[in-house]
Amino acid sequence: MMTCGYDDHHCEIGLIVGTGTNACYMEEMRHLELVEGDEGRMCVNMEWGAFGDDGALEDLRTEFDRDIDAGSLNPGKQLFEKMISGMYMGELVRLVLVKMTKEGLLFQGQTTPDLLATGHFQTSFVSAIENERDNEGLVNAEKVLVGLGLTPSAEDCVATQRVCQIVSTRAAHLCSAALTAVLRQIRDNKAAERLRSTVGVDGSVYKNHPQFARRLHKMVRRLVPDCDVRFLRSEDGSGKGAAMVTAVAYRLATQQAERQRVLDTLRLSREQLLEVKRRMEEEMSKGLARETHHGATVRMLPTFVRSTPDGTEHGDFLALDLGGTNFRVLLVRVRSGKRRSVEMHNKIYAIPQEIMHGTGEELFDHIVHCIADFLEYMGLKGASLPLGFTFSFPCQQNKLDQGVLLKWTKGFKASGCEGEDVVTLLNDAIHRREEFDLDVVAVVNDTVGTMMTCGYEDPHCEVGLIVGTGTNACYMEEMRNIELVDGDEGRMCVNMEWGAFGDQGELDDFCTAFDWAVDERSANPGKQRYEKMISGMYLGEVVRNVLLDFTAKGLLFRGRLSERLKTRGIFETRFLSQIESDRLALRQVRSILQHLGLTSSTCEDSILVKEVCSVVSRRAAQFCGAGLAAVVDRIRQNRQLAELQVTVGVDGTLYKLHPHFSSIMLDTVRDLAPQCKVSLLQSEDGSGKGAALITAVACRIRDAGQH
């Protein structure tokens, strides 16, 4: 198989039909239960000569097969081989001739000592007698029979030739039937409608018998019409094959060592993760302190959210959720008591590009127009309701109902908004419309909204985390530590804006060449460094850069690069989730690679691409887990607890769709913060519901103060 595979890359079966017979083929690892691992393929040595030793061929065996077996050195063993191979073919012919002679059908009923002697009719005689060139076979038959002391007539020679043909044809057909089973297995493994495959063949019977190969090929094609099978004769034998196996093993070992050397730069040790945690803790302290806040990469912005839900919240609330080209208007009905529940109704509205790039007045007028449409749709035209505004852009807050836009992101460029309070801009637009009045109680970040949504379900939820296109976190900090806000009593939610961690070099020693490449070609070089190692906007691009490096070194795709793979952003982060989602996903990998123009990728390429995805996503989850460990440990230390029980509310496409991200992240948090019992709670209803709940909590606290 290896010798022929050097000349034909479709060769995945090896066949020997000589003194003995055997076959091997490339099987999927997932089917090899005796070997650890599910990825890729491995050559299986079938040892098919023993097929039938359990009685499976009993209905096909003849008295001649039984006589051969009884007189062999290994009775009851290698029964399939005894029906096919060169060691036994001549002997089968001899036994048939002896029986026919004893029954008076040949040689006038006269046997000879040589005809009766085991092994005197060699398989080479069968090949010579079946030679169809110019009656040469019949001439050879006469020579062979005379050599055995017989006096054959012309009819005896023809009959002997016919016996040889029947015995050798049966051998070829049995061999083809077994080979067909192998081809079907390979075709089913690949789920291919048509299989193109090559069989490398060696052995004296296959090479020397004048008709064996033709009969074998013809029957195989008849039995598997849905397979295009090529037979390739091995000219240099198994010695060259052994050398080829050695050469391939050496090449693979060398390439594997280089691949692992590169991938090791993306693997994080426990010591490195503890260092990331320590540096995050340091930046958090800087962000909270008045003197160092301005220079901190982790901004630790006060949100003026002072409490999580306690279950007594009640009423109808409006919520706006603005964070992209679509935004939602929601009516959230919060009920307390025994029938405690949150009921939501919402509509999604588009923001056209010309409004995103127009004036601030046009943008906020459009938002208010959509609110009016929603109130009419809900039968609440003219109603005055408390409103929470999830505004997922960087804001400086000085109180709960004020948020000064620091800068637009995500493609928004509306003029006259940066440096302005978005609540004022919204109220001005409401007043311009003069249809209804709304009480804008809270402006919140999507991370805070997520924490509040999950906090309604779980009172231990004091941390919010987003891992989607970007990443961010928030948590409940002690007021005494928030130096930017007056007062020492109680707690306040802090919006960390942790994506910028590393912007002053804190993560440089963890950055690889691939991270630098992604950063340099991004829209904001040098910014959001932590986010670029974790979030969905960048992970696919990290993988693509690794694949480019491997291909340039000849370690992948046989060194051939497709034009599509050179395109920035072409390897989407969703591909990582798809590739890692299924233990049988190599077909999935193959289809993604074909989509990227890599049509001749191999099974081994797919395995390596899957490993690259796994290493990159694992690192992202561990980085995120190290940051989260810093947060929960800080909460524990703030409260001087030996052990903290805390829940983290999580949202974001990467967290939700990637099959392993959440478990790796949680394992990392628990390992790096062993005194914290951390649970993760996925937010199902997004940050809009959270904005309404923050509004509900704020109304509860405000009403309590008034009474």
Residues serving a catalytic function are 328, 392, 446
**Cα-Cα-Cα-Cα dihedral sign, residues 633, 636, 642, 643:** negative
Give per-residue burial for 528-543: e unless 16+ CB within 10 Å, then b.
bbbbbbbbbbbbbbbb
Q: Backbone dihedral region of 46: left (phi > 0), alpha (psi from -120 to 50 degrees) or beta?
A: alpha
Cα–Cα distance, 514 to 541 (Å, whole number): 9
530: closest CA among 513, 512, 506?
506
Please count the other Cβ atoms lying within 10 Å of the Cβ belonging to residue 217: 18
Cα–Cα distance, 563 to 673 (Å, whole number): 45
The phi, psi pair for 592, rounded to 5°, reads -65, -45
SS3 assignment, position 88: helix
Cα–Cα distance, 397 to 444 (Å, whole number): 9
Cα–Cα distance, 187 to 194 (Å, whole number): 7
Element (H, E) at 336: none
Are the beta carbons of 319 and 695 closer than 8 angstroms?
yes
| HEC profile of 247-303 | HHHHHHHHHHHHHHHHHHCCCCCHHHHHHHHHHHHHHHHHHHCCCCHHHCCCCCEEC
β-bridge mates for residue 321, sequence order: 328, 390
| HEC profile of 25-66 | EEEEHHHCCCCCCCCCEEEEECCHHHCCCCCCCCCCCCHHHH
Cα–Cα distance, 138 to 1 (Å, whole number): 36
Cα–Cα distance, 601 to 550 (Å, whole number): 13
Cα–Cα distance, 94 to 107 (Å, whole number): 13
Type of residue found at 641: L
Cα–Cα distance, 661 to 679 (Å, whole number): 14
Q: Is residue 253 classed exposed, middle or buried when 0-12, 13-18 and 19+ CB atoms within 10 A define those classes?
A: exposed
Cα–Cα distance, 157 to 537 (Å, whole number): 81
SS3 assignment, position 265: coil
Are the beta carbons of 608 and 547 closer than 8 angstroms?
no
| DSSP class of 359 | B
603-638 and 536-552 helices, crossing angle to 10°: 140
* Beta sheet of 386-391, edge-to-edge order: 341-350, 326-335, 315-322, 386-391, 439-444
Please count the other Cβ atoms lying within 10 Å of the Cβ belonging to residue 605: 22
Cα–Cα distance, 682 to 223 (Å, whole number): 54
Q: Give the side-chain half-sphere CA count within 13 A for 405.
A: 23
Q: CA-based angle 189:195:198, to the nearest 5?
A: 105
β-bridge mates for residue 387, sequence order: 318, 440
596: closest CA among 551, 638, 641, 636?
551
| DSSP class of 415 | B
